[in-house]
Amino acid sequence: MDAKTLDLNDPQYYINRELSLLEFNRRVVEQAKDASTPLLERLRFLCIASSNLDEFFEIRVAGLKQQVAYKAVQLGPDQLSPAEQLKRIGDLAQLLVAEQYRVLNEVLTPALADEGIRFLRRTEWNARQAAWVKRHFYRELLPVLSPIGLDPSHPFPRILNKSLNFMVSLEGTDAFGRDSAIAIVQAPRALPRVINIPREYATSPYEFVFLSSIIHAHLGDLFPGMRVTGCYQFRVTRNSELFVEDEEVEDLLHALEGELHQRRFGDAVRLEVAFDCPHQMTGLLQHEFDLGEADIYRCNGPVNLQRLMAVPEMVDRADLKFPAFTPSRPRRLPSNADFFGVIRRGDLLLHHPYQSFLPVVEFLRQAAQDPDVLVIKQTLYRTGPDSPIVKTLVDAARAGKEVTVVVELKARFDEEANIELATRLQEAGAHVVYGVVGYKTHAKMLLVVRREGKQLRRYVHLATGNYHLRTARQYTDFGLFTCDNAIAIDVQRIFHQLTAPGRAGKLKKLLQSPFTLHPRIIELIGREADHARRGRPARIVAKMNALVEVQTIVALYEASRAGVKIDLIVRGICALRPGLAGVSENIRVRSVVGRLLEHSRVFLFDNDGAPEVYLSSADWMGRNFFSRIEVCFPVEDKRLRERVIKEGLDLYLQDNARAWELKSDGSYHRVRTGTRVRDAQQTLIDQLSEAGPTD
């Protein structure tokens, strides 16, 4: 097919987004197998993969099941029907789950035991340990367990989403003559799933027992006079997407509060059972939860691997964890810095977590305490419990500042926390708004208006990541402080859009979804293609979490065909197929999976030697371009622009330690080139953290 007739919308040119997301989870599991990663961190990676898979089923698989139920016909660019996707997902997910348990049982558990960290089975307890476990059961577990026998007066209980449960088979009759053959035991969520055996009873430095083992060993005490003939763990994953339609409710906050309760009991989408659970028992559960055979996942170990995340925190072995590092502060920002004076002297870039997030908190705190500051406006998407950001905004409101906070109530799985912080802010006198109906507010913006002599000056912080202290230590993100007047006025206009009705005003420097970001990205890609056609140097480098939006992919294909060299660093989902002859042979795609979660969005357009660099809160996805409020901002200072290119792009293109390359068939292969190991994240830790130089 020649260049004129090539159909870039052909489904063969696209990778299914759900299958791509499963591929990302496979890369995470591979980190658990990597012997160069510290042992306890390998266990963490296994837990992260389990957590990711939970959300995948709660949201993505649940959505596909609904499409099948409603006979939806809308297809993605790959043209796979929902039913076809579910079939392929089931096949791949079964293999992935089996591999997770194989890695746990055959690789990590023996390696941990060699280091004196043991998970003891019931058959391995000695007499003293068994006696301690029994005391623990009577003291800590028996008072909170409520076994339920299944009979006409005790129907099958409601099972919470992702809770640990046991199906117990029994023989005999009880004191009332009942002969219930099956009972259900639900483990309260407050109970830890992994229990540390006290040192005085342990034969190794660290010994643990699973809650499931303790309950299993003492089931007879829950059913006196009955004979327990079997006990099998199970766990059900439910549809956890919220269905509140903003346009159809008068009070979004109260509507969400009601919906959050229902999330715990949504339709079942997956059933995990113990690997030795008899088919009759599994069939009963399958019928109860209205699931098919393909929805059953047999687990050779704890049904919730994510709960093992507690183990590294309980083991004091620094040699089995990533070396700790202390985020640095820029030299321009000593602990007693006048932030306003520093920012007036030039833009300031922070690269988290290598550089500390605390300056952001300190800037806000200084603004809250400064008598010359009149206005503070901020977007909050995720902040975490007991956030100092929220506390400072509360203090500012109580001090008489004009405080406006745009709280995104529908930040997935943070809805409850965001409702709570919105209430706190309102009680303090802050203006709290929930954004624009039908559009999630995902932009990361902070605006401070300060009186300086006879004028008002605006100070701005823009970022690629959330105002969340914990994730700022785990996610890689950029943040920019500036008092550039054009940028600051743009930010002010966006806040006005969020809080008051009116038409979108023209922005001078910022790109904004759902208005200018997508068309401008398409235009910038097209400009590089024009340069290539004219024989000029043309290059695009873009880093993001996901790439699925079809028009953007088509534009990249067309740029590749024009001769533009394109490097994409896509952490997770990528629907673009690189390396296709005549379509994408000039496109390389890589993913970096390391100790830190790659989260920054960085876009470089070479522009015939006059490079333009943007940072953004938005991935190249339809939802980010068209149904969210996002901000993309230029890095105009030459020195900072060069920093972003080096730290945010070049080091990742050179990485041969944690990088994976996407092949045209949708598979990923580990990048192993040269004799010198290049680890982008470790290089940045060495260069930017407190141990290294900083600017």
DSSP string, 674-688: SSS---HHHHHHHHH
Q: Which 3 state secondary structure label does DSSP give 577?
A: coil
| 262 touches 241 (CB < 8 A) | no
Tokens standing for residue 221? 């005490």
Contacts of 61-64 with C-beta under 8 Å, sequence gap 24+, read 61/18, 61/86, 61/89, 61/269, 61/270, 62/238, 62/239, 62/240, 62/241, 62/266, 62/267, 62/269, 63/241, 64/18, 64/89
Q: Give the ranges where 274-357 is alpha helix by DSSP (H).
A: 279-288, 310-314, 339-344
Q: Which 3 state secondary structure label does DSSP give 92?
A: helix
352, 442, 461, 468: which is the annotated catalytic residue? 442
Tokens standing for residue 540? 């695009």
Size of the chain in residues? 695
The CA distance from 8 to 673, in Å, is 32
The CA distance from 208 to 197, in Å, is 6
Tokens standing for residue 175? 């004191």
Between helices 252-263 and 415-427, what is the axis angle to 10°?
150
Beta bridge partners of 119: 208
Q: How many Cβ atoms from other residues are within 10 Å of residue 508's Cβ? A: 12
Amino acid at 30: E
Q: How many Cβ atoms from other residues are within 10 Å of residue 320's Cβ? A: 18
| 245 touches 259 (CB < 8 A) | no
Tokens standing for residue 399? 């001090």
The closest alpha carbon to 349, from 329, 369, 364, 365, belongs to 329
Tokens standing for residue 634? 């230029």
Tokens standing for residue 77? 């660019």
442 carries an active-site annotation: yes
The closest alpha carbon to 71, from 62, 63, 82, 85, belongs to 82
Tokens standing for residue 143? 């008072």
The DSSP symbol for 646 reads I
Sequence-ordered list of residues with C-beta below 8 angstroms from that of 309, at least 6 positions apart, any chain:
44, 47, 48, 51
Amino acid at 429: G
Q: Which 3 state secondary structure label does DSSP give 393?
A: helix
Q: Which residues are catalytically annotated?
A: 442
